[in-house]
Structure 1
Amino acid sequence: MSKAKSLADLFQRPSLDFLMGAHDALSAQIAQDCGFPGVWVSGLGLSASSGLRDSNELSWTQVMERTELVADRVSVPALVDLDTGYGDFNNVRLVMRRLQRADVGGGCIEDKLFPKTNSFIGAGQQLADPHEFGGRIKAAKDTVGDEVFLVARCEALVAGRSMTEATDRCGGYAEAGADAILIHSKMTSPDEIVSFMASWDGRVPVVIVPTKYSKVPADVFERAGISVAIWANQTLRAAIRSMEKLCVALREQRTMLHLEGEIADLSQVFDLTNNAELELAKELYASHPAGSSLKALADDGGPAGNHLVGAGPTSA
């Protein structure tokens, strides 16, 4: 089964499930090992872990390179935060083709203008014209069909627009071909989300990112009809806090005597990067006995490799 189909099936389950945010291949591997059925490749996470702001300072090709590392590392599907799609409909087509080739799973495009501003910074969120954004969604879907699961992210509530506008925008995005809708909110209560779901006709599944209302019990979302919730940046924030704590303590104590038990063993690092597979591969390939033909070449005067590639330059 393709990762896109796995992601589509996840969104169609009768009960709420979660995607865990990943900012690199290692955090994606940890999320998979802990049982999450998929990961969210966070634009904020990719940017911050690269020392950049979440304002499209990381290019789309850099995002794709890091995303492909995630896709190569884990077997679960990834939903990739594609910001605005990095331009107009044509940029979106290029990005979607790259996702398609990598068999990532899905992509999420938001209805803001390029370059984007993080949803939780400032009040001046500039939204795209809904018809123009609908064209981006249609271009994406026409380009990859069902080979990439497509989520349209609506920022109307974040930008202070009305619930009616949010519902209308999401309806238009679904008509344009979105497989699911992400409705975003920066309130600390779930009221906006619950209100949206009460007016949503359910034509496609809905996903949320409860960063600001993270303390709300999951059953509230489930009763409202939410299909998937994304813990978008918690692994990044946990890593920052843990690294700061270690650095401060080690700077003060100048020894790992009382700190070694607070960090992962090197063996866990090797397990996460699957070093055991490399050792097995070495046994299979690195010292494989030469076949009779290669052995005869080697015995005939030097390393077999020289005979295969030529012993040296010849005169013209």
Structure 2
Amino acid sequence: MLYSKTPPEQKRVKLRELLASGTIQQFPGAFNPLSARLIEEKGFTGVYISGAVLANDLGLPDIGLTTLTEVATRAGQIARMTDLPCIVDADTGFGEPMNVARSVQELENAGLAGCHIEDQFNPKRCGHLDGKNVVDLDTATKRIRAAADARRDPNFLIMARTDIRAVDGLQAAKDRAKALVDAGADAIFPEAMRDLHEFRAIRDAVDVPILANMTEFGKSDLFTTEQLQNVGVNMVIYPVTLLRSAMGAAERVLDTLRSLGTQQVRVPEMLTRARLYDLVDYEAYNKFDSGVFNFQIPNNR
């Protein structure tokens, strides 16, 4: 009932254990708190919270328009709804190194298990678009050093994302990954790798966990977990998959409403009332206070 019973500190320990397990971990992207609960129920080990999804949910493009307050608030709402560790996209850290330090502490306060901070210029752009620009090495490492120094819980995961592959090539990505680890990064997110060979190259360059971004319509093929684990990837995210699926379904229903004047033909595709009530755990509230939920839900509804 209400929120997760697992304290954030325990979630952070769990995240560290997962990344050290030797088995690749799948973190689907939640687009709201209820979808995080569904991710947990389906047996996944963690939740990813995409900056693109948070921006798009506000009707904004993913170009650095969201604020720290907006991201920390929404990420916290998602994280508190699940016992799973949640990692959030912190973009460029929302400013200079001091801003990065504050960002990390705000995300700790919000109950996140970790975050990643990237080396793009601010304003940034989606990692799978062309025309990206990255900051110089000194600026990139200062961001990560500030993040690592600012955290109060040593288990809060500081992941460094680098977009330099698309700008200066694979060797530059390997060199930058090494420098970011030296600056204090606990894990590396090499963005927009083009093939499995490139993931293997990053794996060979650093001795910390690495992440693969399996986003649809991007630079990378949608590799399987087996393929990624075989080249040493520790964690895979599917950042926008659920949002795209949900919005695609919503668009089809709206088209049907306009064309047929009723949603009847789409009802079999919908989450039933009983299933929705199960996800929000009506029964637990009923046990707590029978005045909250004192009616029967038909089995077929």
TM-score of Structure 1 vs Structure 2, range by shorter chain: 0.7 to 0.9
Alpha-carbon shift at residue 155 of structure 1 (Å): 0.7
Q: Which runs of 5+ in 2 are unaligned?
A: 1-8, 293-301
Q: Please say which structure displays the higher CA radius of gyration.
A: 1
Q: CA deviation at 1:59?
A: 1.4
**Secondary structure at the counterpart of residue 66 of structure 1:** helix
Match of 1:204 in 2: 208
TM-superposition CA deviations, 1:178-204 (whole Å, max 9, x none): 1100111153x434223333x41x421
Which residue is equivalent to 1:85? 93
> How many residues in Structure 1 have an aligned counterpart in Structure 2?
281
Provide the residue aligned with 1:175 in structure 2. Answer: 182
TM alignment of 1:1-316, pairs within 5 A = 2-121=10-129, 123-144=130-151, 145-159=153-167, 161-185=168-192, 187=194, 189-197=195-203, 199-200=204-205, 202-211=206-215, 212=218, 213-283=220-290
> When the two structures are superposed, what TM-score results if normalisation uses the length of structure 2?
0.87
1:71–1:103 contact (8 Å) kept in structure 2: yes
Equivalent pair of 1:86/1:115 in contact (CA under 8 Å): no
Over 4 Å off, 4+ runs: none
- The answer to whether the 8 Å contact 1:16/1:229 transfers is yes
Q: State whether residues 100 and 148 of structure 1, in contact with CA within 8 Å, keep that contact through their aligned partners in structure 2.
A: yes
Contact residue 4 and residue 146 of structure 1 kept, 8 A: no
Alpha carbons 2:160, 2:188 under 8 Å: kept = yes
Deviation at 1:283, TM superposition (A): 4.4
SS of equivalent residue, structure 2 residue 265: coil
Structure 1 gaps, min length 5: 286-316
When normalised by structure 1's length, the TM-score is 0.83
State the distance in 1 between where 2:290 and 2:247 align.
39
Q: CA deviation at 1:284?
A: 9.8
- CA RMSD in angstroms, aligned pairs only: 2.0
Give distance in 2, aligned partners of 1:42 and 1:67: 9
Q: Percent identity?
A: 26
1:158 positional shift: 2.5
